[in-house]
Chains A and B, each alone.
Chain A
Amino acid sequence: MERFAGLLQQLPREQGEMLRALHLAQEELGWISRDAIRLIARHLRVSEAQVYGPATFYAEFRHSPPPKTLVTWCSGPSCRVVGGDRVRRIFEAEFGCRLGENTPDDELGLWLGQCNGTCEKAPMVWVNGRVVGPLSMVDTVKLARGLKAGDDPIEWPERPIKIAPATFLEAEATYGSEHGLDGSVEGTG
């Protein structure tokens, strides 16, 4: 939180920095907490409601801590026409939670994602931001069970593929930043 507060200070005090500030909070804290909203409001000199609005409008911002292992399910049409909806049902059954939820212990979560144009890997999911696909249904069951058992999906023996960089931070760590945050943000990758 302190680091986030420090980095936030480097952003100009303009409303136009709102999305940048929210992205920063999510990267640093993993989600947009009430305290983060308060800090951003104070820094940008706007009301908390003015932060809360965009923070809840944009699908990407999360309002609860992310699970340890996050499976993001691609809802897109290219995945859909080759069994994508079955993939969702399998994860829901294996994890015992609905789309958009975490397991009660926050170890696993299944969240909705939008097509990012890797459709030739359909049907696919992102596991902690990395593409795994194309998945057969049997693959999907094995992947879900592996994740439940704590396997690292990247080392998953039957892992068909993966994608990098997984997050913007990872990309930034590789390619450097233009956000005026140079050097102060450590990549995760």
Chain B
Amino acid sequence: MSSAYEELREAAELSAAPRRSPSRPLVRVDLSTSSIAAEADRLWEALEPLAAEHEAELMRVGTLGLSWLEPVVEVERPDLSAAAAGGGAVVYGPVRPEQAAEFLSAALGDNPAEDAAQWLIGARTPTAGVPALADHPFWGPQERRLMRVMGVIDPESIDEAIAEGAYEALDRAVTMDPMAICDLVLAAGVGGRGGGGFPAGQKWKFLLGAPGPTKYLVCNADEGDPGAFVNRVLMESDPHLVIEGMAIAGKATGSDYGFIYIRDEYPLSIARMELALAQARERGVLGENIFGSGFDFDLEITRGAGSYVCGEETGLIASVEGIRGMPKIRPPFPAQKGVFSEPSNVNNTETYANVPLIIQHGDAWYRQFGTESDPGTKMFSISGSLERPGILEVPFGMGMDDLLLGCGGGPPDGHTPKGIQPGGPLGGLLPASDLGLRLERPPFTERGVLLGSGGLILFDERASAVDLTKYFSEFCEDESCGRCTTCHGGSQRLVEVLERIMHGDGREEDLERIGVIDKTLQNANCLHGQFTPYAVRGLVNYFRDELDTHIADKRDPARVAPGLTRYLITDQSDPRLEQAAELCPTSCISRAPLEPGDADESDGDAGEDAAEALGDWQIHAPSCIHCDVCREVAPESIRVEDRFAATLSVI
């Protein structure tokens, strides 16, 4: 340990210590994007004065990953004796802002395990009378390496991070031989987490060997895959891990400057990374002569502006340069010609974040988990039809069913899994029968899909695979940079064909057409175009029945396609129809006044009771937008029917 680092560490421990006073309870509030979406900021405001009253320390933390229980609060009670129930670090949620006072009194009382039972999730550290978080299905199978201090430290305080060991690996790395660092990272076998899985150590060697004094590092935090939020969580909850990883990569590749490219959809990530950079500079872990070693390194942030192909590394580089982020043909690879035409290296945020751990613990430790092809652990963000959506870190090689059904709890309300969407818009679709796949790249590639960057979406029988495929094709069309006609035009045709199928105009020869489009797309310049057909290939290969039903029978089993379904009123006596009519966005539910002659003549007093002069409720089919509002209001008396089947039965 260099004396400079030792000094830094001591100061940081001193500054972080008072927050962990042995006599005062510590209340940690998860303030990350998704918990703030669940009003954690309001909860914080409500807790502030209350914590003061209770003489408790209130602390902002990142996420533990328990997204479905947000806002999550952890209360640590060093003031209670170890034997007392609830004396450790206990995690609670969801705590609604209006429950702040009630919650805090219970959690800070003499018997939190019982009094705060309604919020109790589990104990993160051993606590008498409280089930351990480790026994929770969401938590148990995890191996939290990257996430070790997430939800525990304040991501806006560098002292907290340093007190937990941040920058110790950098201190070691700055005195190491660059080639030795590359070799170590290569021996650990850390593959690129952006989806490609290319060995990071190998890529670094390319840059190390590149000529010239100027070399740039780029951190790819564009995370464009919908459903993936791994990078966001890293930056929001432990920004210094990313910075440290990049600085070590700088030392290993002979680079003294880097860019962190963050998508603009992540304002809190940008803010926290900016703050972390400023603090790192102030402490001298970035800047000149780091830890007295003579190594200089600094970073800046580039804000993206909403373009998916900018996540592709050559597009990313163009975007950092301030021009349109259009991917280019490789070679030249970034290590030959990157940012501002200088040799560069692009890695995903999570790839960089793994590096400090490898320096700290070595390659053998790193390989304790994971598989031959994908050593180590991986963060996954799981969402869609799940009981417990959230973010977690597990060893590569775990079964996908263990992750989605075990940790994630599978679909809620008794729905059945229908399929999985891994790897973002270019990743493809898998049927539920593939839930047993191991989470590493080869089995996914064998099935013609991509494991990708860590987003996994489970869908159930209510979702339409055709509609999902159409969505991904639309996404690819929208996000195509437009350079290649094959890509832009190909995805356009694909959307047209799928749209037609969903409108009941599918044709026998459409499958052949899809095949032609698929072949054409493979001639596109970059992977965006080349991988665009993955989704539709998944549809054809794994959801063929559903596609055939659309084309041949003009029927949508999920009853999602407006062109293939219609809404029908089945019970005229339901009084809720009135409300349904009032809420219908297109006012297409109505009851026509009875024609003269239809009404009972003897009921002479017209106008006395207007309702009696009205006929049956009807839905005007051409203006119905299939929004399901009416069925939410009156589920038993309005039905969705197959449009064509229904017509036939009427005739």
**Contact between B585 and A144, CB atoms less than 8 A apart:** yes
Would you call B626 an interface residue if the criterion is a C-beta within 8 Å of the partner chain's C-beta atoms?
A: yes
Closest chain-B Cβ to A152's Cβ sits at a distance in Å of 15
Check B14 for interface membership: any CB of A closer than 8 A: no
B398 touches A (CB below 8 Å): no
A83 to B463, CA, bound (A): 9
**Chain B residues within CB distance 8 Å of chain A:** 33-34, 36-39, 41, 67-68, 70, 156, 223-224, 226-229, 232, 264-268, 270-272, 274-275, 277-278, 301-308, 319-326, 340, 381, 383-385, 389-390, 421, 457, 459-460, 462-463, 467-468, 471-472, 475, 478, 481, 560, 583, 585-586, 625-629, 632-633
A20 to B383, CA, bound (A): 33
On whether the beta carbons of B323 and A94 are closer than 8 Å, the reply is: no
Cross-chain contact B322 with A15 (CB below 8 angstroms):
yes
When C-beta atoms are compared, the residue in chain B nearest to A129 turns out to be B267
| Cα distance A120–B408 in the bound complex, in angstroms | 12
A76 within 8 A of B: yes
Chain A residues, Cβ within 8 Å of B471: 75, 77, 80
Q: Is the CB of A76 within 8 A of B226?
A: yes
- Cβ of A161 within 8 Å of any chain B Cβ, yes or no, is yes
CB distance from A143 to the nearest CB of B (A): 12
Segment 141-174 of A: residues with Cβ below 8 Å from B: 141-142, 144, 161-168, 170-172, 174
Assembled-state Cα–Cα distance A170/B321 (Å): 26
Contact B277 A15 (CB under 8 A): no
Asked if B226 contacts A78 (CB within 8 A), the reply is: yes
Of the candidate stretches A1-9, A101-109, A175-183, the one touching chain B is A175-183
Residues of A within 8 A of B302 (CB): 19
- Inter-chain contacts of B462 with A (CB < 8 A): 81-82
Across the interface, do A15 and B468 meet the contact criterion of CB distance under 8 Å?
no
Report if A71 contacts B (CB, 8 A): no
- Taking a contact as CB atoms under 8 Å apart, the answer to whether B36 and A163 are in contact is yes
Whether A57 contacts B39 by the Cβ 8 Å rule is: no
Q: B211 CB to closest chain A CB, in angstroms?
A: 23
Secondary structure of the B contact surface, majority rule: mixed
Q: How far is the CB of B161 from chain A (nearest CB, A)?
A: 16
4 nearest CB pairs, A to B: A117-B229, A18-B322, A60-B306, A58-B305
Docked complex Cα distance between A94 and B587 (Å): 10
Docked Cα-Cα span, A55 to B34, in Å, equals 30
Residue of B nearest to A78 (CB): B383
Of all chain B residues, the one with the shortest Cβ separation from A136 is B632
Which of A50, A161, A163: most chain B CB closer than 10 A?
A163
Given A77-B471, A119-B389, A165-B36; 12 other pairs, CB 8 A cutoff: A15-B323, A19-B322, A57-B307, A59-B305, A80-B467, A81-B463, A89-B585, A89-B625, A93-B585, A117-B381, A166-B267, A171-B270
Question: Quick check: B467 and A141 within 8 Å, CB to CB?
Answer: no
Residues on B with C-beta less than 8 A from A93 are 585-586, 625, 627
The one of B272, B384, B633 that contacts A119, using a Cβ cutoff of 8 Å: B384
A54 adjacent to B632 (CB under 8 Å): no
- Give Cα A167–Cα B475 distance, bound, in whole angstroms: 24
Whether the Cβ atoms of A171 and B585 lie closer than 8 Å is no
CA distance A77 to B301 in the complex (A): 28
What are 6 A-to-B residue pairs whose CB atoms are below 8 Å?
A81-B460, A93-B625, A165-B268, A170-B267, A178-B301, A179-B274
- Cβ contacts under 8 Å, B383 to chain A: 78, 119-120, 122
A23 and B265 contact, Cβ closer than 8 Å, known pairs A86-B628, A164-B36: no
| Contact, CB under 8 Å: B33 / A78 | no
Given that A138-B632, A174-B271 are known contacts, is A53 also in contact with B322, CB under 8 Å in the complex? no
Interface string of A101-142 (1 = CB under 8 A from B): 000000000000111111111100000000101001110111
List A contacts of B38 (CB < 8 A): 121, 161
Q: A15-B323, A116-B33, A131-B37 are in contact. Are A90 and B585 (CB under 8 A)?
A: yes
**Is the Cβ of B226 less than 8 Å from the Cβ of A176?**
no
Q: Given contacts A54-B324, A141-B585, is CB(A120)–CB(B305) below 8 Å? A: no
Quick check: B632 and A137 within 8 Å, CB to CB? yes
CB distance from B246 to the nearest CB of A (A): 16
Shortest Cβ distance from A79 into B: residue: B226
Q: A20: which of B265, B303, B324, B459 is its contact (CB, 8 Å)?
A: B303
* Complex Cα–Cα for A61 and B304 (A): 11
Chain B residues near A167: list those with CB within 8 A: 267
